[in-house]
Amino acid sequence: MPAASAIAKKKVWTDEDLESLPRDGYKYELVDGELIMSPVNAGHGSVCMRLSAQLFNHVQRHKLGEVYDSSTGFRFSEKVLLSPDVSFVSKARLKKLLVAPEKFLAGAPDLAVEVLSPSDHMRQIHRKLDLYFEYGTRLVWVLSWQLRQVHIYTPDSIAAMTRPDDILKGGDVVPGFKCRLSRIFAS
């Protein structure tokens, strides 16, 4: 891990620097100029895929915009680049954010989904929430696959869902989207 420590101390990261990082199983994000690296485990990955599939199918069926996986970077500023585990950008905002297919998206997604890993620190999650809303995200879902919970954040509210029959909804951010928690947190 010594190479990772040296990488993390760099103060200014260009898109080219970030794109040239090794494909070593780590997820890289830039928060306040600091590179954050974290690998994900199997439980995390399967929850991301189940939710992604549900969201993708709905968004494509209704031609609402695009759904992205955790490999997609959203460049908020020179010192902030986040890659939510799952994200959605509406058709209208996509025209503003998609500079070119080979570039990071220039701004924040409409919906960001963060799936918690054991290595995540709540301080970092709360900082990400602040950044998402500061740069225009309208809805964030934070999923704990271990507790089988979803916390739903908007700029002015927080709600929690904890029962398998609870239904996660996209509200006015992802119109018509509904998914029972049991479909995301399948055994």
- 174, pLDDT greater than 90: yes
For residues 42 and 124, which has the higher predicted lDDT (pLDDT)? 124
Least confident of 6-10, 102-106, 125-129: 6-10
The bridge status of strand 178-180 relative to strand 157-161 is unpaired
Mean per-residue pLDDT for 37-62?
Answer: 88
Output the average pLDDT for the chain: 86
Confidence at residue 26, expressed as pLDDT on a 0 to 100 scale? 65
- Is 16 a domain residue? no
- 18, pLDDT greater than 80: no
- Is 19 a domain residue? no
- Is 46 a domain residue? yes
Confidence at residue 23, expressed as pLDDT on a 0 to 100 scale? 66
- Is 26 a domain residue? no
Confidence at residue 105, expressed as pLDDT on a 0 to 100 scale? 94
Confidence at residue 38, expressed as pLDDT on a 0 to 100 scale? 65
- Is 127 a domain residue? yes
- Is 77 a domain residue? no
Q: Which domain holds residue 112?
A: 41-72+84-184
Q: Give yes or no for a contact between 102 and 35, defined as CB atoms under 8 angstroms apart.
A: no
Least confident of 21-25, 99-103, 121-125: 21-25
Q: Give yes or no for a contact between 132 and 101, defined as CB atoms under 8 angstroms apart.
A: no
Question: What residues does 180 pair with on adjacent strands?
Answer: 167
Please state the φ and ψ torsions of residue 138, each to the nearest 5 degrees.
-105, -20
Region at 130 (left for phi over 0; alpha for psi -120 to 50; beta for the rest): alpha
Q: Vertex 74, ends 33 and 17: CA angle to 5°?
A: 50
Confidence at residue 71, expressed as pLDDT on a 0 to 100 scale? 85
- 118, pLDDT greater than 90: no
- Is 99 a domain residue? yes
For the chain, the domain total comes to 1
Confidence at residue 56, expressed as pLDDT on a 0 to 100 scale? 98
Confidence at residue 168, expressed as pLDDT on a 0 to 100 scale? 97
- Is 133 a domain residue? yes
Confidence at residue 161, expressed as pLDDT on a 0 to 100 scale? 92
- DSSP letter, residue 21: S
- CATH number of the domain that residue 152 is part of: 3.90.1570.10
- 185, pLDDT greater than 60: yes
- 171, pLDDT greater than 70: yes
